[in-house]
Chain A
């Protein structure tokens, strides 16, 4: 269970704190923090937080709940139980506060980590980060790792519209939803990064988690949402324009790439339908609320006492149904739709590392052809009998021979990394999907059980009509 706490700096900060609060309304003091430790044996089961350290108790609840406007508010989010390396217990907790004024305002997220790894300065610590910091982290990682073939998890999308509304201080539910959505997405992003064994070792990641003041990231424009996808697609185009076609001795890469592309397409399609579901459910929600009111009015009009009471009761039941629909819509969105969105982006990243391998191959091929040209040049010089230039030519040949060897080795290494990464990714994906689907279904189950109770309570009222 992860916790988001809210801390107020001063009155001049604008408020949009109608955070999604736990259904059971438990509160924590502003500084308390609950951490989750993932199971060291590597299972993806979600663990309950350990005892005495925590200021209150939690019960599992769906990721998004009713917004309230209470001062001390706590939101719980189900963690994404990605497998972490052994001997490691790290996670990140998100927190929001708002700083600055007007259009310069930005949201600061509190990232809390708890770990037993020696490479960190302390066991429990937290820092403040803003959205562009997350993008900056991604940029650093992708630049560095691009030659290695790792699948770098992509950050969530930038949204000018969403953020502007929040900055303008609109206190409405859609702003709240937006911020919560972003917070949850950033949390999942970080968890994917730290659960990757090589990325966790990266000093930039450590710095991101630990360092008090992080220098502002620049050039993050290109790095999210449409920008990110554009980058991936540009790389694909470059690969497609290659004149020399790669002769794959092993069809694994081709086949896998095709699979990834197909899957991405299908996920997009599914995402569209799930979006439609969310909208229809919100519509149902609204219609139910309106109907409940109308029915209550009808109950007031009714002159038969028992029937009048039954009508009012029915109106109340419909009101409760509206609440259920609202929670279900949130579950549809925050669990199902967001899962699909994440994996659409992740599959883009997978395609990216296939492209990196192609570019490595290209580099190798180009080096080989350059070497060939150098050898031909040398032969010409030999024939033309120019001994001084010949020496230089020989040196160049040696240099390029070394390069060819290096690039071939790079290519092979990337190939192995890509294979390893893809297999790891697939395992993680299966676990992730499974746990998210279970979460989604359990939320639905709870909802249906409550529905049964509501109607069972109404039944005697209906029977009492005389």
Chain B
């Protein structure tokens, strides 16, 4: 069971298990309701696939057992998300965004490059680079587990969605879910729907809005989405540059070490101390990068997707509004022709009902979404600032120590 190319014989990537405690780095929604508690305590990396262990603890009688776990794949999560989106009854809700596919491409590619460059570096350097890459791999892993976990927890803490039948099946069904998952035809259907939707986004801007609240929300969300998407991309670039610097520190430390080893003069000690410092520094810098990634980049990324889900809600409501207006027109036509008036009236009544229901539920959802967003940003910004300070203080101590040592020589 190895996930990387066979050229790495003793990589240790064969099985990665994470303990519960390690995962809880950034949670934007903690489930407080003890009647249904979900978490992902364990995950396995097998070739290209990640197997999540979904653990449920519940006091609800609708479940067969109070405490149970099932293995799930990423595709199972997507199936669950899509079925929720396609459920008419939930049209007025913000469906939590689907977790993105686990992406190990970046560390895998780097590992490959490292293997190719093995001959040019010292054994020590190679070991350190490999360690660094393993940490990166682990970070990607942590992130993907977290994002899948949060998806489930959003569902479990939602008053309506937590009662969904498919959600229960997802949590409980102890066989392979793949039979129930989308087959190719359905997937194509979903894809087609998305295409129509983006064409309809133009519709949104065109539909006349009757409600001030929704008009404002529309403007706000459209603008905010493009800005947050931009910020996410730029934050990612910034984090990557930090990582590159941490890698450079490894090489610098290793080369200084070689220099020191061969040096027979008074300079030896200077070089050794500096090499040691850079070795410690690269760990700090690596942590700065990964903390920034989690608290800033991932935060922005998550809310970008969440805002997309909010926009989807607006779109569904706009569709309902358009349907209602069309039903009005149909009713007028029926009255003119004096034909099928009761059906037209019924249709119009239904459309209005649907629209009103969507508007009412939509307003609630969007308001609570606002609150949620502000809370999450606050939490993460505080944590990020505290971590930056912590790491910088650590660096200061290291630097002062090294300067002391050098001066005392």
Q: How many residues of A contact B (CB 8 A)?
A: 56
B271 touches A287 (CB 8 A): no
In the complex, A281 has a CB within 8 A of chain B: yes
Q: Which of A265-293 contact B (CB under 8 A)?
A: 266-267, 269-270, 273-274, 276-277, 280-281, 283-284, 287-288, 290-291
Q: A277-B252, A445-B396, A462-B378 are in contact. Are A429 and B267 (CB under 8 A)?
A: yes
Q: How far is the CA of A278 from the CA of B267 in the complex (A)?
A: 24
* Shortest beta-carbon distance from B56 to chain A in Å: 33
Q: A294-B230, A448-B399, A462-B381 are in contact. Are A301 and B223 (CB under 8 A)?
A: yes
In the complex, B333 has a CB within 8 A of chain A: no
A430 touches B265 (CB 8 A): yes
Q: Which residues on A sit within 8 Å (CB–CB) of B242?
A: 284
B388 touches A451 (CB 8 A): yes
Q: Is the interface of A mostly helix, strand, loop or mixed?
A: helix
Could you say which of A263, A270, A287, A449 contacts B237, with CB atoms under 8 Å apart?
Answer: A287
Identity of the chain B residue whose Cβ is nearest the Cβ of A284 in the assembled complex: B241
Q: Which residues on A sit within 8 Å (CB–CB) of B267?
A: 426, 429-430, 433-434
* Shortest beta-carbon distance from B391 to chain A in Å: 9
Q: How far is the CA of A225 from the CA of B234 in the complex (A)?
A: 40
Q: A445-B399, A448-B395, A455-B392 are in contact. Are A437 and B406 (CB under 8 A)?
A: yes
A448 touches B396 (CB 8 A): yes
* Shortest beta-carbon distance from A100 to chain B in Å: 41
* Shortest beta-carbon distance from B102 to chain A in Å: 25
A276 touches B248 (CB 8 A): yes
Q: How far is the CA of A442 from the CA of B400 in the complex (A)?
A: 8
In the complex, B169 has a CB within 8 A of chain A: no
Q: A284-B242, A301-B223 are in contact. Are A263 and B392 (CB under 8 A)?
A: no
Q: Which of B129-160 contact A (CB under 8 A)?
A: none
Of B77-85, B200-208, B256-264, the segment with at least 4 beta carbons within 8 Å of chain A is B256-264
Q: Which residues on B sit within 8 Å (CB–CB) of A458?
A: 381, 385
* Shortest beta-carbon distance from B277 to chain A in Å: 8
Q: Which residues on B sit within 8 Å (CB–CB) of A456?
A: 385, 389
Q: Which residues on B sit within 8 Å (CB–CB) of A465?
A: 374, 377-378, 381
A297 touches B230 (CB 8 A): yes
B400 touches A445 (CB 8 A): yes
Q: Which residues on A sit within 8 Å (CB–CB) of B240?
A: 287
Q: Which residues on A sit within 8 Å (CB–CB) of B400?
A: 445
Of A120-128, A159-167, A302-310, A398-406, the segment with at least 4 beta carbons within 8 Å of chain B is A302-310
* Shortest beta-carbon distance from B132 to chain A in Å: 15
Q: A310-B377, A427-B266, A434-B270 are in contact. Are A281 and B245 (CB under 8 A)?
A: yes
Q: Which residues on A sit within 8 Å (CB–CB) of B378?
A: 307, 310, 462-463, 465-466
Q: Kindly list 13 other residue pairs between chains A and B, CB separation below 8 angstroms, not including A280-B248, A455-B385.
A: A263-B259, A283-B244, A287-B234, A291-B237, A298-B227, A307-B377, A310-B377, A426-B266, A434-B409, A445-B400, A456-B389, A462-B385, A466-B378
B-contacting residues of A (Cβ < 8 Å)? Answer: 259, 262-263, 266-267, 269-270, 273-274, 276-277, 280-281, 283-284, 287-288, 290-291, 294-295, 297-298, 301-304, 306-307, 310-311, 314, 426-427, 429-430, 433-434, 437-438, 441-442, 444-445, 448-449, 451-452, 455-456, 458-459, 462-463, 465-466
30 contacts between A and B (CB under 8 A): A267-B259, A269-B255, A270-B255, A270-B256, A270-B259, A273-B252, A281-B245, A284-B241, A284-B242, A284-B245, A298-B228, A298-B231, A301-B224, A304-B373, A314-B381, A429-B265, A429-B267, A430-B270, A441-B399, A441-B406, A442-B403, A444-B395, A448-B399, A449-B392, A452-B392, A459-B382, A459-B386, A462-B381, A462-B382, A465-B381
Nearest 3 A/B pairs, CB to CB: A284-B241, A430-B266, A462-B381
